Amino acid sequence: MRPIEMICINCPLGCQLTVSRKADGALEVSGNNCVRGIEYAHTELENPLRRVTTTVNSGSMKVPRVSVKSSESVPVEEIFLIMERIEGFRLNRSCKCGDILIDHISGDIDLIATQDFTFSEGEVKI
């Protein structure tokens, strides 16, 4: 195969990687400043993974949204699937940063709160 150029997204450095396949079929990665670059090149070629970060409806007026993330990175094509599953979800309770809000939103992956949220009944709007 021809060498592929890609940018490692693991950290803000954004190393410019050059990936090529050696005769024995193994991948050769250059341009990386750390080992994560090599790992990234492998998954990016086989099955690109991304973390989903979004918000869910809190059910409260005062703080309408609670920020969440997927517990692990997910295949790119699953991002919209997860977004769809969040649609219509209402938290309607308090949570702590790190709590699972929706378990198994996709396979073994959960949806996790990334902030503390205090729910108060008085603020609910029907």
Partner 1 sequence: MTSAMMQSQILVIGAGPAGIAAAIAADSKGQSVILIERAESAGGILNQCIHDGFGSIRFGEQLCGPEYAYKEIKRLEGSSVIAYFHTTITEIRREEDFFLIDAVSPKKGTMTLKVEAIILATGCRERSARQIFLQGDRPSGVFTAGLAQYVINCMGYLPGKRCVILGSGDIGLIMARRLTLEGSSVLGVYEIQNEPSGLSRNIVQCLNDFGIPLHLSRTVIELHGKHRLESVTIMDVDENRQFIKGSEQIITCDTLIVSVGLIPEHDMVRELGIKYDPHTSGPIVDQTYMSNVPGIFCCGNALHVNDLVDYVTESGEIAGDAAVDYLNGIIPRKKIELIIDQSIGSIIPQTISLSATKTFTLPLFIRSKRTMRKSILRITNGGNELFTKRFNVVKPPEMIRIDLSCEISKVQTDFPFLISIKEERS
Partner 2 sequence: MNNRVDRLQNTLNRKFTTKIECSQINDSIRLEGDLDTLSDWLSAGYLAAKDFGYKVINDITISGVGPTSEPRLKEKTQRLKKNTYDVLIIGGGVIGASVARELSRYKISVCNLEKESDVACHTSSRNDGMIHPGFAASPGTLKAELNVKGNRAYSQICEELQVPLSRPGSLMLLKSRLYLPLIPIMLDRAKKNGVDGEVRFLSKREVRRLEPNLSDDHFGAMNFPSAGQLSPYGLTIALAEHAVQNGVDINFNTEVLEIQREQDRIEAVRTNNGMIHCKVLINAAGCWSDRIAELAGDRYFSLHFRKGVDCILDKALSEEQTMIAANPILFKTHASHSKGGGIVPCVEGNILIGPTAQEIFSRDDYATHLEDFDALFKIMSLNKRFSKKDIITYFAGIRSCSWNEDFIIEKSPVLENMIHIAGIQSPGLASAPAIGEKVKGIVLKILGDVNLDPTYSQFRKVTPNVSLLNHVDKTELLFKRPDYGNIVCRCENISEGEIRDVLRSKIPPMTLDGIKKRTRSGSGRCHGAFCAPKILSIMSDELGIPIEDIEKNGHGSQIVMGKTKQGGTHD
Specify the stretch interacting with partner 2 by CB under 8 A; choose among 10-18, 37-45, 81-89, 109-117.
Answer: 81-89
Q: In what order do the strands lie in the sheet with 4-7?
A: 4-7, 16-21, 27-30
3-state secondary structure of 53: strand
Choose between 87 and 108: whose C-beta lies nearer to partner 2. 87
Which alpha helices (H) appear in the chain, and where do they start and end?
35-46, 79-86
- Nearer Cβ to partner 2 (41/112): 112
Q: How far is the CB of 109 from partner 1 (least distance, A)?
A: 14
2 binds partner 2 (CB under 8 A): no
Would you say 21 or 65 has its CB closer to partner 1?
A: 65
Interface with partner 2, residue 87, by CB under 8 A:
yes
Cα→Cα distances 15→1, 20, 51, Å:
21, 16, 19
Binding partner selected for residue 125 from partner 2, partner 1, none, CB under the kind-specific 5 to 8 Å limit: partner 2
Residue 82 contacts residue 71 (beta carbons within 8 Å)? no
- Asked whether the beta carbons of 27 and 41 are under 8 A apart, the reply is yes
Taking residues 26 to 65 in sequence order and writing x for each that binds partner 2 by CB under 8 A, - otherwise, the string is ----------------------------xxxxxxxx--x-
For partner 2 (CB under 8 A), the number of binding residues is 15
H or E stretch covering 16: strand 16-21
